[in-house]
Amino acid sequence: MATIKCSVTECQYNANQMCDAPMIQVNRNGASRANSSAQTQCETFKTRG
């Protein structure tokens, strides 16, 4: 798998600023067509807890 950096420390998959999820899913964030990273979101996020 590719190396994926993550600065969201509240995510359970964040391991020292690196994503260690077995897979990730990224979707559009309400846009019909994404033209920037602001128009996308990580659906794999799970709150650490």
The pLDDT assigned to 39 comes to 96
**Structural domains of the chain, count:** 1
At 18 the three-state DSSP class reads strand
User: From the centroid of its chain, how far is CA 26?
Assistant: 7
Domain range for residue 47? 1-49
What is the spatial distance between Cα 34 and Cα 6, in angstroms, rounded to a whole number? 20
Q: pLDDT (tens digit, 9 = 90+) per residue, 4-46? A: 999 999 999 999 999 999 999 999 999 999 999 999 999 999 9
The pLDDT assigned to 2 comes to 81
Q: What is the pTM of this model?
A: 0.80
